[in-house]
Chain A
Amino acid sequence: MTETDTAPAGTMGEVGRARRRKEDARLVTGRTQWTDNIQLPGMLHVAFLRSPLAHARITRVDVSAARGRPGVVAVFSGRDFAAEQGSLPCAWPVTEDIVIPDHPPMAVDEVRYVGEAVACVIATDRYRAADALDAIEIDYEPLDPVLDMTEALTEGSATVHEVGNRAFTWKFAQGDVEGAFRDAPVVIDRTFVQQRLIPSAMEPRAVVAQTDGDGFTLHSATQIPHILRVMLALTTGIPEHKLRVIAPDVGGGFGSKLQVTAEEVLCLLITRRLGRPVKWTESRSEGNLTVHHGRDQLQRISVAAESDGRIRGVKVDLLADMGAYLMLVTPGVPLLGAFMYGGIYKMDAYDFTCTGVFTTKMPTDAYRGAGRPEATFAIERAMDELAAELGLDPMEVRRRNWIRHAEFPYTTICGLTYDSGNYEAATDRALALFGYDELRAEQADRRNRRDPVQLGIGISTYTEMCGLAPSRVLGSLSYGAGGWEHAEVRMLPTGKVEVVTGSSPHGQGHVTAWSQIVADALGVPFEDVSVLHGDTASSHKGMDTYGSRSLSVGGIALVQACEKVREKARQVAAHMMEASPDDVEFTDGRFRVRGTTTERTIQEIALATFAAHDLPEGFEPRLDAQATFDPDNFSFPHGTHLCAVEVDTETGATTIRSYVAVDDVGKVVNPLIVEGQVHGGIAQGIAQALFEEVVYDADGNLLTTTMADYLLPSATDLPVFVTDRTETPATSNPLGVKGVGEAGTIASTPAVVNAIVDALRPYGVRDVRMPCTPERVWRALHDRAPSAEEGASV
């Protein structure tokens, strides 16, 4: 990545340049607009009282003492909102018989996880609101918690909801699976635990709600202002046109802010009732309890293969912990992985079953990768196990199975058509950067010497489906919304350009990347483009940011809007130069009559259109356009990640010695931003492999409520990442781009765990459950009697 941004401004070819970000100016100087920064005249502060029990009936509520506390304006419990609070939405009813329990934003009769809101105080400042929580009296009658998915499905288990603990069972099968497994020379059968994770965006959630007596404005630290507006209108009964939602600066999301939260609904209800603006900002401990969690799946994967390693078929049986309720896309998350358990490999049969299970825990929902990291982990771990079983190099087993470059486009057994890819190129580059053969030699040496510090090499040759995505496909999977994205481009009278995007950023760098795209498309300087986003009043239409979709969907909408503007400008230019539009060429912001030196700049045309003194007959005097793009296919980034670890067999400590990632995300708009996304993604995937895990105790209390207990990696915990790219353009969009936001997270977790297991394989270790803490590694080495036989990680 040696590109620089030193080329003179206005030079074409912005796309592909490592432009430094426009966003940074306010972020490095503190002139930010986080939701918690907002101060409004007469604003009150909300604090929530939360359930201390995992499962209980509420038998008595008395808020009278709290009402008398200093600074307290109002105190409400769930009963006060019962008639108007509705039910938090689930937009992804994955099966016809799915159980979607009523989900009151504030519990009324029963609580089903620790942290569920049961009452709130509204006071003049945040300290007084928090103080008065102590004076609220609530009596509970404890009920049995439901904490283990397998037990939850057994006869006689306590139930989270009256209807039972099974939310849905979703099945998908292709080919002759029984045939593939019958008499298969090799069958790998493994169970993996995808532990529960906390997304942990650095900015805690915050909400500010206000009303002028007619309409409502809600500021929220959200990824999805547009979806939120629709959903809040449906939930609260506030008419959609009377509700404006604004996502100002948002400090990371990783899926956690892809949600319609209880607190957003309740702040609207409170402001509706009191007629005053209110703010709620969560503490981190509150967030660990109540920001939706991610992952939490129990995966059984079986791979049938020939004796040369070629895969015949794959079977997957998944239990997915929904938590206590189904939130916005809770049941859909495992389905996003359903089509990815085949990875990059060819096979003739596939069978997938997923059962969603209720437990008395915080609901799960999207977390970076959402379903695809889990799937990739399982198949990539299984490929290593297959290689070990056959005594083959794990890369060789992959080569024998992967889709060759010449075979693209390729329709997988799961029915996805991978439009482009070059696994050979990415792998060759990664192996060279990594020094694969040298590391294998060192590994052999350490094994021979019985070095207490063993070397392990982990491979992950991943792909993923992202760029969510074709509305028709999402509809066929019963998702409640479409997958299009919207953009508007306006030439202003002075020749500057204002862009409105429906994709709402929270750290990705949309403003910079969109400016680069527009600069090329309209031939204007990068500096002359501004980008509006995140406010439903200025950006009326959008489907927001998740699933690595912004560029490959929203960026294409932007390109199309630019094309429309350019064609309008061509009409005006032709008219001004008294030529036929067909004879007018456009290059670098100039319209020129073919074969002459007569030309007009796009800025001149913007001014002429504004003046409107002499426009073509019937030409509407505006140089702006909108476009909505709905792709025909997902985008399929891929790559090869290689990880070398040193595992101390005496202490169980794992150190990442080197990490190489070669990703193919198609054409790149800004290599700096792409590299940053890859880095951050790898870090989060490594964090799952080595550090992070949500822990509930036997009563259903969350033990990892703080950053002291839930271990986010710091700078000392992570290695230097060596990254490079291959570039195989996507064929499903005119820019040739693929998503990048989730790729690193999807790829890196199995690379790390494969490396650890590889290091310990001579000791009989066949799996280490994540996170692979020193204790878990040590126990895998020393207590492996029960698990070594079955290879199970549970």
Chain B
Amino acid sequence: MPRITVKVDDITYEEDVEPRTLLVHFLRDRLGKTGTPIGCDTSNCGSCTVLMDGRSVKSCSVLAVQADESEIVTIEGLASDGNWHPMQRAFHEEHALQCGYCTPGMILAAIDLLNDDPDPSDEAIRQGLEGNLCRCTGYCNIVRAVRRGAEEMGVTSR
């Protein structure tokens, strides 16, 4: 069984994994990182989105062995020193979640979206989140939240 070394939310793990193990199952079942949920089996919904070396990936579509030597950030590792990431705050403030199942993936996809476009238009936000499905909100508040998160992140980094 291959051994992988992967850093997840700032902790380094060395684990033997079956080659077929999906990253999301590795995170959830092996490491107990259950903050990342699974919503489908065809990589359509984006609920399982995490950051892999800074870019968003759907962790149901990545094998754990492909994550060898990489750094993963899940929703559980986003806050620092007990302070929520601006995007987490923005989702809360704008009521951009109801059941919350899509939320971890939505937040991480939104953060990656801002890597490419720090000041996105509403249209760009909608395009950028096309791969993340939400069944509760109708997306209006998610778009507002991403805009707000972008503004706050811009302010923070300036």
Q: Using a CB–CB distance below 8 Å, which chain A residues touch chain B?
A: 20-21, 23-25, 27-32, 34, 36-37, 39, 125-127, 200-204, 249-252, 254, 281, 283-285, 506-509, 672-673, 675-677, 679-684, 706-708, 712, 714-716, 718, 720-721
For residue B36, which residues in chain A have a CB less than 8 angstroms away from its CB?
30
Q: Using a CB–CB distance below 8 Å, which chain B residues touch chain A?
A: 18, 20-21, 25, 28-29, 32-42, 44-45, 47, 74-76, 78-79, 84, 88, 91-93, 95, 97-104, 107, 122, 125-127, 129-143
For residue A682, which residues in chain B have a CB less than 8 angstroms away from its CB?
138
Contact A30 B35 (CB under 8 A): yes
Contact B101 A28 (CB under 8 A): no
B87 nearest in chain A by CB position? A28
Contact A707 B133 (CB under 8 A): yes
Give 28 pairs: A residue, B residue, CB < 8 Å, sorted on A: A24-B92, A27-B97, A27-B100, A28-B91, A29-B35, A29-B78, A29-B88, A30-B74, A32-B34, A36-B28, A37-B28, A39-B32, A127-B25, A200-B135, A202-B133, A202-B136, A203-B101, A204-B39, A251-B37, A251-B101, A283-B40, A284-B45, A506-B99, A507-B99, A676-B95, A683-B138, A706-B42, A718-B139
Q: How far is the CB of B11 from chain A (nearest CB, A)?
A: 15
Contact B135 A254 (CB under 8 A): yes
Which of B21, B45, B78 has the most A CB atoms < 10 Å from its CB? B45
A509 nearest in chain B by CB position? B98
In the bound assembly, the distance between CA atoms of A714 and B95 in angstroms comes to 18
For residue A249, which residues in chain B have a CB less than 8 angstroms away from its CB?
100
Contact B129 A252 (CB under 8 A): no
Contact A37 B34 (CB under 8 A): yes
Assess A673 versus B95: contact at CB under 8 Å? Given A284-B39, A284-B45.
yes
Q: Other CB < 8 Å A-B pairs besides A202-B135, A509-B98, A718-B139, 13 of them?
A: A24-B97, A27-B103, A28-B92, A28-B97, A29-B78, A37-B34, A126-B25, A127-B21, A203-B99, A252-B98, A679-B141, A683-B137, A706-B41
In the bound assembly, the distance between CA atoms of A48 and B13 in angstroms comes to 33
For residue A509, which residues in chain B have a CB less than 8 angstroms away from its CB?
98
Which of B93, B101, B138 has the most A CB atoms < 10 Å from its CB? B138
Assess A508 versus B98: contact at CB under 8 Å? Given A27-B103, A30-B36, A679-B137.
yes
Contact B44 A202 (CB under 8 A): no
B32, B35, B136: which contacts A32 (Cβ < 8 A)?
B35
Contact B142 A715 (CB under 8 A): yes
B39, B139, B141: which contacts A203 (Cβ < 8 A)?
B39
Contact B84 A507 (CB under 8 A): no
For residue B102, which residues in chain A have a CB less than 8 angstroms away from its CB?
202
Q: How far is the CB of A70 from chain B (nearest CB, A)?
A: 12
A37 nearest in chain B by CB position? B34
In the bound assembly, the distance between CA atoms of A202 and B133 in angstroms comes to 8
A285 nearest in chain B by CB position? B41
Contact A507 B98 (CB under 8 A): yes
For residue B20, which residues in chain A have a CB less than 8 angstroms away from its CB?
127
For residue B39, which residues in chain A have a CB less than 8 angstroms away from its CB?
202-204, 284
Q: How far is the CB of A504 from chain B (nearest CB, A)?
A: 13
For residue A721, which residues in chain B have a CB less than 8 angstroms away from its CB?
138, 140
For residue B140, which residues in chain A have a CB less than 8 angstroms away from its CB?
679, 718, 720-721
In the bound assembly, the distance between CA atoms of A29 and B41 in angstroms comes to 23
For residue B135, which residues in chain A have a CB less than 8 angstroms away from its CB?
200-202, 252, 254, 680, 684, 712
For residue B134, which residues in chain A have a CB less than 8 angstroms away from its CB?
202, 715
Q: How many A-B residue pairs have CB under 8 A?
A: 177
Cβ-closest 4 pairs across A and B: A30-B35, A507-B99, A27-B100, A251-B101
In the bound assembly, the distance between CA atoms of A284 and B36 in angstroms comes to 16
Which of B88, B93, B99 has the most A CB atoms < 10 Å from its CB? B99
Contact B76 A714 (CB under 8 A): no
Contact B78 A20 (CB under 8 A): no
Contact A715 B42 (CB under 8 A): no
In the bound assembly, the distance between CA atoms of A21 and B91 in angstroms comes to 11
Q: How far is the CB of A251 from chain B (nearest CB, A)?
A: 3
For residue B129, which residues in chain A have a CB less than 8 angstroms away from its CB?
714-715
In the bound assembly, the distance between CA atoms of A23 and B100 in angstroms comes to 9
For residue B99, which residues in chain A have a CB less than 8 angstroms away from its CB?
201-203, 250-252, 506-507
Contact B139 A707 (CB under 8 A): no
Contact B143 A715 (CB under 8 A): yes
In the bound assembly, the distance between CA atoms of A673 and B97 in angstroms comes to 10
Contact A284 B76 (CB under 8 A): no
In the bound assembly, the distance between CA atoms of A250 and B101 in angstroms comes to 8
In the bound assembly, the distance between CA atoms of A250 and B42 in angstroms comes to 22
Assess A31 versus B35: contact at CB under 8 Å? Given A202-B99, A714-B133.
yes
Assess A712 versus B101: contact at CB under 8 Å? Given A30-B35, A676-B95, A683-B139.
no
Assess A29 versus B75: contact at CB under 8 Å? Given A251-B99, A507-B99, A706-B44.
yes
Contact B40 A680 (CB under 8 A): no
Q: How far is the CB of A763 from chain B (nearest CB, A)?
A: 30
For residue B136, which residues in chain A have a CB less than 8 angstroms away from its CB?
202, 252, 507, 676, 680
In the bound assembly, the distance between CA atoms of A250 and B92 in angstroms comes to 18
Contact B130 A20 (CB under 8 A): no
Which of A28, A127, A672, A677 has the most B CB atoms < 10 Å from its CB? A28
For residue B79, which residues in chain A have a CB less than 8 angstroms away from its CB?
29
